[in-house]
């Protein structure tokens, strides 16, 4: 299963790129809302690819199921917390940045 191992490594590498781009977005984007875009979306895809890569390297179906389960839980948690952060920002009257 050498090839599967390498494919897994490739997925993990690509996943890391998504995490990095999410972090760059967090630093570069101008306001809380756009930063939330960067964090939630890039990290979900990053984690998805990480799970995919680790699944390629896993030694039992149970580990794979557990990894996918973790991904689903993180998806739910991150979309819900993203909504809550954005809502509380709106309620505090933080105006979204817009093109001048």
Partner 1 sequence: MITNYLAAHHLRLADLAGIAAVRFVIFSTVWFLLTGSEMKSWLVGIPAVFFAVGLSLYLSPPGCGKLSFVGGCFFIPFFLRQSFLSGIDVMRRTLSPQRLINPGLVSYTTTLPPGAPLIFFVNTISLLPGTLSADLQGNTVTIHTIDQDLPIWTNIQNLEGRIAVLFNQHEPKENNL
| Residues contributing to the site for partner 1 (CB under 8 A) | 17-18, 21-22, 24-25, 28-31, 33-34, 36-38, 40-42, 44-46, 48, 62, 65-66, 69, 75-76, 79-80, 82-83, 86-87, 89-91, 96-99
Rounded to a whole number of angstroms, the minimum distance from the CB of residue 19 to partner 1 is 10
Distances (CA, A) of 62 to 66, 69, 80: 6, 10, 27
| Distance (Å) of CA 35 to CA 15, 21, 31, 72 | 19, 11, 6, 22
Which of 10, 82 has the CB closer to partner 1?
82
Shortest Å, Cβ 65 to partner 1: 5
In the bound state with partner 1, the residue whose beta carbon lies nearer, of 8 and 71, is 71
Tell me the three-class secondary structure of 11-60, residue by residue. HHHHHHHHHHHHHHHHHHCCCHHHHHHHHHHHHHHHHHHHHHHHHHHCCC
Closer Cβ to partner 1, 4 or 90, answer by number: 90
């Amino acid at each position: 299963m050498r090839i599967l191992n390498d494919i897994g490594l490739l997925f993990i590498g690509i996943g890391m790129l998504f995490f990095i781009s999410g972090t760059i977005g967090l630093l570069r984007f101008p306001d809380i809302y756009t930063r939330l875009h960067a964090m939630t979306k890039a990290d979900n895809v990053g984690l998805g690819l990480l799970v995919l890569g680790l699944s390629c390297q896993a030694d039992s179906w149970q580990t794979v199921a557990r990894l996918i389960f973790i991904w689903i839980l993180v998806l739910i948690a991150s979309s819900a917390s993203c909504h809550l952060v954005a809502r509380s920002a709106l309620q505090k009257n933080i105006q979204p940045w817009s093109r001048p």
